[in-house]
């Protein structure tokens, strides 16, 4: 199984936030996969069974250049396999990019404390 390197962690740190250790453990255990692009960008993806029983490609974290093109390629990959694609974001600007790729907002999460 692959593990996140110090460089991977540094690049992905803003996207992983407080979940960095959990995400690194999922990659190390093979439950999630690290993506490294030639431009230095990084991503972490995971395949899950969604609430409807359909497989979902989950975009766990991503950082680097060319977000829209990389997500579009992952969506095309998932569509060829009949999978849905799901992601959670914190940055409002990413919502506009995702909406432009055909994503719709399905939930909002609020946390207290």
Please, how many CA atoms are within 13 Å of residue 60, restricted to the half-sphere of its CB?
26
Distance CA 94, CA 65 (A): 13
pLDDT digits (tens, 9 = 90+) for 76-107: 999 999 999 999 888 888 889 999 999 998 88
Q: Check: CB of residue 59 under 8 Å from CB of residue 86.
A: yes
Q: Name the pTM for this structure.
A: 0.89
Structure tokens at 42: 């990084």
Domain count, the chain: 1
Q: Is residue 39 part of a domain?
A: yes
Domain hosting 96: range is 6-100
Residue 44 is part of a domain; what is its CATH number?
A: 3.40.630.30
Q: Check: CB of residue 7 under 8 Å from CB of residue 34.
A: no
Distance CA 15, CA 5 (A): 15
């Amino acid at each position: 199984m692959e593990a996140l390197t110090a460089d991977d962690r540094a690049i992905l740190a803003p996207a992983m936030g407080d979940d960095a250790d959990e995400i690194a453990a999922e990659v190390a255990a093979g439950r999630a996969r690290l993506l490294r692009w030639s431009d230095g960008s990084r991503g972490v993806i995971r395949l899950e069974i969604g609430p409807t029983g359909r497989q979902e490609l989950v975009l766990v974290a991503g950082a680097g250049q060319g977000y829209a093109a990389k997500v579009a390629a992952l969506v095309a990959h998932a569509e060829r396999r009949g999978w849905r694609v799901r992601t959670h974001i914190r940055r409002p600007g990413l919502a506009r990019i995702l909406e432009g790729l055909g994503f719709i907002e399905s939930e909002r999460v609020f946390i207290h404390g």
